[in-house]
Amino acid sequence: MHETCKMDRTAAGSPNINPGVASADTRPAIVTPNVTTVCHPVFGLDRGGLEQQLIAVVNRLSFDAFNHIVVVRGWNDDAARRADIFGPNVTVIGDTSTGPDREWARKLATILESNAVDVLHVRGLSMLVDGVIAAEWAGDVPVVASFHGLEDADVPVSGIRRKVTREALLRCKSRWAVGPDAARTACDTFNLPRDSFDDVPNGVDTSTFRPANDRDDIRRQFDIPLDRFIFLCVGNIKPVKGHDVLIDAFMSTPFIDETTLVLVGMDHSDGEIPRRARMSKPGRDIRIVGPQDDVRPWYQAADAFVLPSRWEGLSNALLEALACGLPAIATDVGGNPDVIRDGENGRLIPVNDPRALSIAMHELACNAPLRYRLADQARHSVIERFDAVKMFESIARRYRSAARHDSTAIATSRPRSETVTA
């Protein structure tokens, strides 16, 4: 069963959701010349980096050039509540089935056909094979694939999965990764030539993510003492993110002043990380605040950002933290070195090394001149290299090319109805 949400707006301009239950083929889309309809299947509307990039892309690519169909598997109350973040050119279709589903490719093919989809964009690898099959059943709809990273850096891809995924990737009209290291990882993992993936870095809206005008007001709202030094880590709590290393480092660091470590993200550790946090030493305050609909004020309330990941494609959280003017410590893995220039806009440390992380955290907490210098360069580096508009333009070009439209105009919606063209 599918639950369909069609986004519209009231006269005042505020978004509404009109949920209803319908089969996907009862409401075909109205096809407008030169408007590209893109379908985006995802497993949920969580607050992870992949989902946040999806939301940013579909909301910013202008409705006079693009329509979007977002298909959400495992539709639930939380997804329904979060669906109002989408704009008026987005249709959300909720698939209420969960777990393995042999009919998923057939369902997706029906959605592609009934909505006259021009391009299927599959993010990550878990839906790729079914997506390619569905696209063929729907009349050879062009597929584009983006690689965002590995769920577990220590678990190798099995031989059968590697072979099937490689074949699916080769059938895609366009392939890109969120950074150079992610592109290399994808090519090496699936035995593809090094030029098989383009590089389309994640981008951040630097007008939204910026330092606070009054950090103390935000701290009062969060009931955080004004004189505490706040370390922040944003990311779903799972092994690849290295929260265990972070807590060990935090508890062993000889801070001069009392400090607070704030963890923002959904707990996927079966309670292991909260248990570690409860064992913290007196005077060490560890707060696990869970997933946040709006994470920006947490960046603005903090003094420093920590990303202890065991692997990263290109971390949205890291970019957002830098854009908010936070000095950052990140592990020297994946795409982190593409963002952090050690000693210039942050610090890079070895992976799985709580002692090195502890030393870096102590340095930032106790060396104010270094902290201020890194913070100043942090925001500047993101504005210069990772502004979101470049990402929107690049993805829009790939949609247009895959859809085989004659027009080469690229439009992205911007504040005050501005557009950019390429």
pLDDT digits (tens, 9 = 90+) for 239-283: 999 999 999 999 988 875 678 999 999 999 999 999 988 887 676
Torsion angles phi and psi, residue 352, rounded to 5: 55, 35
Cα separation, 188 vs 78, in Å, equals 37
- Whether the pLDDT of residue 380 is over 90: the answer is yes
Q: Is 183 left (phi over 0), alpha (psi -120 to 50) or beta?
A: alpha
Interval 74-111: pLDDT, tens: 788 888 888 888 888 899 999 877 666 778 999 999 99
Stronger pLDDT, 156 or 292, i.e. the higher one: 292
Residue 366, pLDDT score? 92
Give 146's pLDDT tier (boundaries 50, 70, 90): very high
**pLDDT value for 8:** 37
Give the model's confidence band at 152: pLDDT under 50 very low, under 70 low, under 90 confident, else very high.
low
pLDDT of the residue at 157: 73
pLDDT tens per residue, range 187-212 = 998 999 989 999 999 999 999 999 99
Mean pLDDT of 337-344: 95
The β-bridge partners of 229 are 259
Residue 421 has a pLDDT of 26
Greater model confidence, 97 or 362: 362
* pLDDT over 90 at 166, yes or no: yes
User: What is the model's pLDDT at position 85?
Assistant: 87
Q: Worst-scoring range by mean pLDDT, 6-15, 104-113, 138-147, 358-367?
A: 6-15
Q: How confident is the model at residue 49 (pLDDT cuts 50, 70, 90)?
A: confident
Q: 193 to each of 163, 166, 170, 184, how far by Cα in Å?
A: 14, 11, 11, 9
Counting residues of the chain whose pLDDT is more than 70, the rounded percentage is 84
User: Could you tell me where the beta strands, DSSP code E, fall in 296-383?
Assistant: 304-307, 328-331, 347-349
CA distance 328 to 347: 6
Separation CA 175–CA 57 (nearest Å): 16
pLDDT band at 22 (very low <50, low <70, confident <90, very high): very low
Give residues with Cβ within 8 angstroms of 304, minimum separation 6: 229, 230, 231, 232, 326, 327, 328, 329, 361, 364, 365, 371
Q: Is the dihedral of CA 211, 215, 219, 224 positive or negative?
A: positive
Instruction: With CA atoms as reference, report the closest residue to 233 among 267, 194, 258.
Output: 267
Q: Which domains does the chain have, with CATH numbers?
A: 2-203+387-417 (3.40.50.2000), 215-385 (3.40.50.2000)
* CA separation for the pair 146, 135 (Å, rounded): 16
